Amino acid sequence: MIETHDLTKKYGDFFAIKGIELDLKQGDVFGFIGPNGAGKTTTMRIIATLLNPTWGEAYVCGHSIYTNPKEIRRLVGYMPDFFGVYDDMKVIEYLEFFAAAYRIQGAKRREVCDEMLNLVDLDFKRDAFANTLSRGQTQRLGLARVLLHDPQVLLLDEPASGLDPRARIEMRNLLKRLRDMGKTIIVSSHILPELADVCNKIGIIDRGVMSVNASVDEVMKQVRQKTVLHVGVAGDQEAAAKVLEGSEMIESIEPRPTFLVVTLKEGIEDYSDLPTWLIQAGHKITLFREEEINLESAFMALTKGMGKKT
């Protein structure tokens, strides 16, 4: 659906992006993460055919940005990080204006616009002036606008930036809705936790170079190389810790008020013997589960040192 090879953009001697490789299939939601100036916008604008690369290839649904930009623009909905709305236009007029530009004619035009307003939950602002919308509502209007021509591919540049927590959740739910409609999406952000439950693939870019490009599962595995368990027993926790201490597979045991934090050695994934040993030693298990990966710390580990000048 979206493929790039060695995609590179130079300004003078400066590489805005360097050797970007993407291979996204239909229905993929790619979280494009990186600090300010990393190259996210540059990559998206090239795929949207709004900017030429210095070298490299990009294809959307098999169409090359060099030979078939018109077809690509039909297939792609690109939402830039900042866009203006016109002061003297109502929400519905704003959408109709762009629907007309997409040559959506007659009764169909209003129908499509109403449908999109409904999709982004903005029906209630249909007759409000566009410049009176909140930032979150404006972003949703921007999304409605790029959906008018029913594009298969969406390129969304920081759609959640500047939004309050509630509006972020609404934006995330909207992205999930678009994902469920089968759209192929590239969505950029400064932060991974915001996107991790929406995306199935993640790319981390810094200073024009993509250092991570993998499925969300693989990225999480990369961050968490050791399994951490929370183990609770009724009664003598210290005695339970002693039982586990003898195991070759355990790296460390750290007591907490109501349970033990048991870190397994790297590469150990099968820990099914541990509860058996505790039970055999006469303990009653009240808690036994893997610690969930903390997305904030995963992100910090992955992006350590990023955004700093060399």
Ligand X SMILES: Nc1ncnc2c1ncn2[C@@H]1O[C@H](COP(=O)(O)OP(=O)(O)OP(=O)(O)O)[C@@H](O)[C@H]1O
Question: What residue ranges bind ligand X (CB under 6 A)?
Answer: 11, 16, 34, 36-42, 81
Q: How far is the CB of 252 from ligand X (least distance, A)?
A: 39
Find all residues with CB under 8 Å of 17, minimum gap 6, and list them. 7, 8, 9, 39, 42, 43, 46, 53, 205, 208, 209
CB of 147 to ligand X, least distance (A): 22
What is the DSSP secondary-structure string of 124-166? GGTTSBGGGS-HHHHHHHHHHHHHTT--SEEEESSTTTT--HH
Give the nearer residue to ligand X in terms of CB position, either 36 or 310: 36
Q: How far is the CB of 109 from ligand X (least distance, A)?
A: 33
Q: Which is nearer to ligand X, 85 or 306 (CB)?
A: 306
- CB closer to ligand X, 212 vs 228: 212
Nearer to ligand X, 34 or 136 (CB): 34
End-to-end CA distance of the chain: 35
Q: Are 192 and 299 in contact (CB under 8 A)?
A: yes
Task: State which residue, 17 or 262, has the beta carbon closest to ligand X.
Answer: 17
CA distances from residue 218 to 48, 69, 161, 225 in whole angstroms, order as listed: 28, 33, 26, 11
The set of residues, in sequence order, having a beta carbon less than 8 Å from that of 27 and lying 6+ positions away, is 179, 182, 183, 184
Residue 143 CB partners (closer than 8 Å, separation 6+): 79, 120, 156, 159, 174
Provide, rounded to whole angstroms, the least separation between the CB of residue 198 and ligand X.
18
**Residue 59 CB, nearest distance to ligand X (Å)?**
20
Q: Which is nearer to ligand X, 255 or 307 (CB)?
A: 307
Minimum distance from residue 171 beta carbon to ligand X (Å): 16
